[in-house]
Amino acid sequence: MSDQMYLAYDFPLLGAFWTMLWFFLWVMWFVLLFRIVVDIIRDDSMTGWAKAGWMAFVIFLPFLGVLVYVLARGKNMGRREIAQARAQQEEFESYIRDTAGRGEAPRSSVDELARLSEIRARGDITEEEFDRAKKLVLSGAGARHSTGSGHGTGSTTSTSKGAAR
């Protein structure tokens, strides 16, 4: 055994340290590799051929490919990730605003009539039920009542949420 190997095994704590260091570097290598592959796939500014070229470069010559990719396109990797995260956040906030606003804001009679028209067009209510519901909306009671499911039961009053299935 060489003196260097003897030194590493003579002190078990040092051997454990080197093992943990190499394991950490190995894990970090795969994290970096996967981030680069995801960045290549997500980048909308590259053509398909450019993506294929970078993927081949990163897969067949991984160390050189990753190094060149980070040097050539690394600065914009963070920008693309931030832009994508912001877009997801805005989409989520928009969804929350739309969902939260549905049950709280009173609908105008125009909105209620448009919704009734859509339900009638789908065939969920009959023409007679539509006319009765339209009269309710125009009389001012449409904010509280609307048409039912319209499956021939003759029921014309239910909550707006129940009819908006």
Question: What angle in degrees, to the nearest 10, is found between the helix axes of 109-122 and 127-138?
Answer: 180
Mean pLDDT on 92-120: 79
| C-alpha to C-alpha distance for 118 and 112, rounded to whole angstroms | 10
Q: Which of 78, 55, 76, 79 is nearest to 66 (CA)?
A: 55
| C-alpha to C-alpha distance for 62 and 60, rounded to whole angstroms | 6
Report the pLDDT value the prediction gives residue 7, as an integer from 0 to 100: 53
State the pLDDT confidence band at 125, using cuts at 50, 70 and 90: confident
The Cβ of residue 142 has, within 10 Å, a number of other Cβ atoms equal to 23
- Tens-place pLDDT, residues 60-81: 998 999 999 989 888 888 888 8
Q: How many CA atoms lie within 13 A of 18 on its CB side?
A: 10
Supply 107's token pair: 């609908």
pTM of the model: 0.48
State the pLDDT confidence band at 9, using cuts at 50, 70 and 90: low
